A and B are shown apart, each in its own frame.
Chain A
Amino acid sequence: MADDTQAKKTRPKRALSPKRKEQARREFLRTSVMAAGVVGFSLLGFLPVAQGKTLRLRPPGAIKTPSDEKDFLSSCIKCGQCVQVCPVQAIELADMDQGFAIGTPYIDARTQACDFSCDGLQCVLACPTGSLDHALDYPADSRMGFARLSRPKACLAIQGKGFKGLARGAEYKGLLRYDEIDRWNPIPVAEHPYDLELCDLCVRQCPIEIRITQCAEAEKQKAGSNQKVERVAKQYGNECPPKHAIGLEEAVAPDGTRVMVPVIKDGCVGCGVCEMICPPEPPAIVIDIDKITDWV
């Protein structure tokens, strides 16, 4: 019996004919080339990452530092649930030219910024892997980037000009929420003409500044009804008001005249609405992703 099992195991393999041998040799070569090709191609995905080309404005809560997105890229499962829940469709997914960053969410602020009109950071809540960190509770705590007045000469406020008409033209597809029009549904910017004596769009539309205004109003109401102001903060655990993000401040121009200049402040989270709404093309104000407010 023991001999039997032994025989079974050591049954000799039939010797291959020369033709079969040649076939097997070729198959082995083919397989090696194919394996090297597929693995090599997949590793090409490291190039854009190594060159820093994949650094982008990411949705709120992305676990990254201004110069290192490694944790974000590795933890993202590339499913796009954040894309689906965004009420203004600010989030897009990276393509294959982004290598390992394929399928990761980013925001092109000029096309459509994040205006936090979901209030509850829906993208963060939707993220199944914690790539957008669930520890982030409030828009004012997000750190996406930081605004910079990149072309002061183009800024209408600095030129002392007002703004009348559609901020980005009639063809522009972007959405923003205007509380006074519809609290729950963002509308196309192209359906909302402005008439401003001095252009202050970047300040006026800043979600953080809007929040500060809301806080002030709530405070006023509470004061009128003898309720304690702190209750707002206590109820929601939300710092109210948050720190200022941007404001128009008087400055003296080189020629001695007094002008109003947009000044970016500590409260800026880099959501990109200022870049989105700025009328000149290209915009006078942009979001830098290489710094966030805690770093400046």
Chain B
Amino acid sequence: MGYIVESFRQLAGLDPSRPHPEEQADEVLSVYKEKRKTRLTKAALEAARDEHHTQCCDKWQRRRWATLILLNLLFVVSYYFDIQILEGALTASRFVGFHMADLNSALQVMLAYKHVVLNLVIGTVTVLILWVILGGRSFCSWVCPYHLLAEWAEYLHVWLVKRKVIKNHTFDRRARSVFYLIFALLALVTGYTVFETISPTGIISRALIYGPGIALVWVGGLLLFEVFYSRRAWCRYVCPIGVTYGFVGLASPVRVKYNIVDCHHEGDCRQVCLVPHVLDVTIRGKAQDLNSDIGSDCTRCGLCVDVCPTDSLNFVIKGLGKQS
């Protein structure tokens, strides 16, 4: 229950709650106490990072990019070579004949049109079940084509910030909840799928499959905004698709798990994260138990799992394998 409440708070854009010392497990307090005895030197941290680099570093990123590219490519080749494996676009499709409908697009259509045909129900429920199993916002980082472009734009942004060419400007994260409500209301009141007009996910998916159009200028504008003004602005502060899948993720067994024992609390994970607030628990003093599940606003992208020098962050499937 605590997981759902806390995840929901973070999804809504509220600050992660900080546990009261009395709520923290005794083991946690003693681990923190132990860590305070030895100060982490820069050299020790570098050594830990170096050692980590010798083993791996971008395992999940490589898997994720490959999945994302192959999946979007499957849409393209299905149409181009008429092999009919995955027909349609990301908003709605048929996978070897089975209906699939993007949850947010389906929601927009249902709110705008106010009638639902059976095929849409089937497609929506199929996708709902699929993403409950696969981790909710994992749609964002493993499927959404805008995410990949934005990730590349983010590298540029971070590089420019490092060189002090530009500054990052943050927005209030609660804006995304407001957008979610506004776009739902607009669909309901105007009777048009207003969000689809500007959704870069749908635009890019259609552009890949059916050929480019002027809508890509808008997507380019968004990317430029993210490169020069605000890091990952669309995904962090606007996109209602992420919120929809975030809700789905509340019930998903696929999560990233944080273990405090070896953690240096150096914050490498929060540096690479799209939604760093979900990793607030890695800040010294903020964990409640030895193991914590990262909230459902997490896109399960695995960047933190890749970067963590102490192996303190890992993917888990609740109810499968060894429980802690």
Residue A43 is within 8 A (CB to CB) of chain B in the complex: yes
Binds B, one of A93-101, A208-216, A253-261, A273-281: A93-101
Q: Is the pair A93, B206 in contact by a Cβ cutoff of 8 Å?
A: yes
A residues 94-114 with Cβ under 8 Å of B? 95-97, 99-100, 102-103
Contact partner, A102, options B92, B191, B215, Cβ 8 Å: B215
Residue B113 is within 8 A (CB to CB) of chain A in the complex: yes
Q: Is the pair B193, A100 in contact by a Cβ cutoff of 8 Å?
A: yes
Q: Is the pair B202, A103 in contact by a Cβ cutoff of 8 Å?
A: yes
Alpha-carbon distance between A28 and B94 when the two chains are bound, in angstroms: 43
Residue B115 is within 8 A (CB to CB) of chain A in the complex: yes
Give a binary string over A23-56; 1 marks a CB under 8 Å from any B CB, 0 the rest: 0000110110011001101110110010000000
Residue A205 is within 8 A (CB to CB) of chain B in the complex: no
Alpha-carbon distance between A128 and B105 when the two chains are bound, in angstroms: 12
Contact partner, A97, options B120, B175, B202, B214, Cβ 8 Å: B214
Residue B238 is within 8 A (CB to CB) of chain A in the complex: yes
Q: Is the pair B93, A74 in contact by a Cβ cutoff of 8 Å?
A: no
For chain A, the bracket of interface size reads 35 or more
Chief secondary structure at chain A's binding surface: helix
Residue A293 is within 8 A (CB to CB) of chain B in the complex: no
Given the complex, which residues of A lie within 8 Å of B300, measured CB to CB?
A: none
Give a binary string over A69-91; 1 marks a CB under 8 Å from any B CB, 0 the rest: 01101111111110111000000
Given the complex, which residues of A lie within 8 Å of B102, measured CB to CB?
A: 77
Alpha-carbon distance between A70 and B115 when the two chains are bound, in angstroms: 13
Alpha-carbon distance between A75 and B194 when the two chains are bound, in angstroms: 12
B residues 248-269 with Cβ under 8 Å of A? none
Residue A19 is within 8 A (CB to CB) of chain B in the complex: no
Q: Is the pair A78, B89 in contact by a Cβ cutoff of 8 Å?
A: yes
Q: Is the pair A80, B88 in contact by a Cβ cutoff of 8 Å?
A: yes
Residue B146 is within 8 A (CB to CB) of chain A in the complex: no
Q: Is the pair A100, B194 in contact by a Cβ cutoff of 8 Å?
A: yes
Q: Is the pair A103, B196 in contact by a Cβ cutoff of 8 Å?
A: yes
Q: Is the pair B206, A45 in contact by a Cβ cutoff of 8 Å?
A: no
Binds A, one of B24-32, B63-71, B164-172, B291-299: B164-172
Residue A4 is within 8 A (CB to CB) of chain B in the complex: yes
Known: A28-B172, A83-B210. A74 touches B192 (CB 8 A): yes
Known: A34-B175, A96-B215, A129-B92. A77 touches B197 (CB 8 A): no
Q: Is the pair B88, A81 in contact by a Cβ cutoff of 8 Å?
A: yes
For chain B, the bracket of interface size reads 35 or more
Residue A188 is within 8 A (CB to CB) of chain B in the complex: no
Give chain A nearest CB distance to B74 CB in angstroms. Answer: 13
Residue B135 is within 8 A (CB to CB) of chain A in the complex: no
Give a binary string over B52-88; 1 marks a CB under 8 Å from any A CB, 0 the rest: 0000000000000000000000000001000000011
Give chain A nearest CB distance to B53 CB in angstroms. Answer: 35
Give a binary string over B197-217; 1 marks a CB under 8 Å from any A CB, 0 the rest: 110001100100110011101
Contact partner, A42, options B79, B89, B93, B195, Cβ 8 Å: B195
Known: A46-B190, A129-B109. A79 touches B91 (CB 8 A): yes
Given the complex, which residues of B lie within 8 Å of A242, measured CB to CB?
A: none
Residue A8 is within 8 A (CB to CB) of chain B in the complex: yes
Alpha-carbon distance between A134 and B118 when the two chains are bound, in angstroms: 11
Known: A35-B178, A41-B198, A102-B197. A27 touches B172 (CB 8 A): yes
Known: A27-B170, A84-B87. A74 touches B214 (CB 8 A): no
Give chain A nearest CB distance to B267 CB in angstroms. Answer: 20
Known: A28-B172, A46-B190, A97-B214. A128 touches B123 (CB 8 A): yes
Contact partner, A70, options B90, B91, B182, B191, Cβ 8 Å: B191
Contact partner, B197, options A34, A42, A85, Cβ 8 Å: A42
> Which of A74, A79, A95 gathers the greatest number of chain B CB atoms within 10 Å?
A79
Alpha-carbon distance between A83 and B179 when the two chains are bound, in angstroms: 31
Q: Is the pair B214, A81 in contact by a Cβ cutoff of 8 Å?
A: no
Alpha-carbon distance between A30 and B237 when the two chains are bound, in angstroms: 12
Given the complex, which residues of A lie within 8 Å of B190, measured CB to CB?
A: 46
Given the complex, which residues of B lie within 8 Å of A92, measured CB to CB?
A: 210
Residue B34 is within 8 A (CB to CB) of chain A in the complex: no
Q: Is the pair A99, B79 in contact by a Cβ cutoff of 8 Å?
A: no
Residue A66 is within 8 A (CB to CB) of chain B in the complex: no
A residues 219-249 with Cβ under 8 Å of B? none
12 contacts between A and B (CB under 8 A): A34-B238, A45-B194, A45-B198, A74-B193, A80-B210, A81-B94, A85-B87, A95-B215, A96-B214, A96-B218, A103-B202, A103-B206
List the 8 closest pairs (A to B, CB-CB), nearest first.
Answer: A96-B215, A130-B117, A79-B92, A74-B112, A45-B197, A95-B213, A75-B113, A100-B192
Given contacts A8-B23, A73-B192, A78-B89, 18 further A-B contacts (CB under 8 A): A4-B22, A8-B22, A28-B172, A31-B175, A34-B238, A42-B183, A43-B186, A43-B194, A74-B192, A75-B109, A76-B109, A77-B92, A78-B105, A81-B92, A81-B94, A84-B87, A102-B197, A126-B94
